Amino acid sequence: MALACDQSMMPTTEAILAVLRRLVWESADILRAYARSEQPPFGYPPALSVDNGGEGPVSAADLAVNQHLLDGFRSNFPDAPWALLSEETAAEQLTAGVPLDAEWLWILDPLDGTKDFLQGTGEYAVHLALVHHQRPVLGVVLQPEREEVWFGLVDEQKAWCETRDGTQRPAQLSSRAQRSDLVLVASRNHRDERLERLLEALALGDTKAIGSVGGKVATILRGETDVYISLSGRSAPKDWDMAAPEAVLLAAGGAFSHADGEPLLYNDGDVRQAGCLIASNGKAQAELCELARACLAEIDPGFAV
């Protein structure tokens, strides 16, 4: 993993992973407490209902995990040569069109899948990604309700899942390669007519509905599904939605790109990850991208994939 740059204050990969393991399991405990209306650990306040002057369990959980992660990074790595960006701090940190002045940048999403968190499906996640020169080199996707965390080291092409007791198992992408055999993982909440038409044209096999981008990509990592497609509509996913899942999938040998084959870029002055983004087990990525481009040219001429 290319963390050993010439910046002498860069922590070792082993030191980073050790801190990440502790922080993600602590974050899991915080989120699970809020999800169950229990007293959160580490001194975080219980969620108050909107009627009682609070902002509800999602905001309370989001803010608590955000603070826990940021405080954890700062206390454990006070001299590290990186910047920290989270979904919760983006509004105050970012200026439209201006990237952060950071060669190395952590991009954090303390709670991905807020609707699933509220609905009690358990399909929410925490994302952490280390980005170097606009591309992810390390990714972490925590699924608290599954008691699993995925790690990915892109340069080492190594991705694995850990449980709380430290048990590890490698990612295992499926061998499915024929389009008609590929299993799509899709959102319950973000579907529109263009996406439905695109999926019809791609003629994939089965479909599985899962919340959270991290949760979707984890199903690809487990070999349960093969393809995830994000098609921007009125809004687009953001850097913190995509960076960590992409890193882990690439580290496992999968593929994640725009439909024109271009890579996703992070910290480029626009946090939106707009266009048609395709993640897969890699076996049919080129074919899927080519067909998606052709279909979208008919479905939505001028759409920037």
Judge whether 86 lies within some domain.
yes
Last residue of a domain, one of 142, 170, 198: 170
pTM equals: 0.94
Q: Which domain holds residue 185?
A: 179-299
Q: Please state the rounded mean pLDDT for residues 258-282.
A: 97
- pLDDT of 191 strictly over 80: no
Judge whether 27 lies within some domain.
yes
Tell whether 204 and 115 lie within a shared domain. Answer: no
Q: What CATH number should be reported for the domain holding residue 286?
A: 3.40.190.80
Tell whether 190 and 151 lie within a shared domain. Answer: no
Q: How confident is the model at residue 261 (pLDDT cuts 50, 70, 90)?
A: very high
Least confident of 43-52, 95-104, 145-154: 43-52
Tens digits of residue pLDDT in 202-240: 999 999 999 999 999 999 999 999 999 999 977 899 999
Tell whether 20 and 151 lie within a shared domain. Answer: yes
- What's the per-residue H, E or C state across the chain? CCCCCCCCCCCCHHHHHHHHHHHHHHHHHHHHHHHCCCCCCCCCCCCCCHHHCCCHHHHHHHHHHHHHHHHHHHHHCCCCCCEEEECCCHHHHCECCECCCCCEEEEEEEEECHHHHHHCCCCCEEEEEEEECCEEEEEEEEEHHHCEEEEEECCCCEEEEEECCCCEEECCCCCCCCHHHCCEEECCCCCCHHHHHHHHHHCCCCEEECCCHHHHHHHHHCCCCCEEEEECCCCCCEHHHHHHHHHHHHHCCCEEEECCCCCCCCCCCCCECCCEEEEECCCCHHHHHHHHHHHHHHHCCCCCC
Average pLDDT, the chain: 93
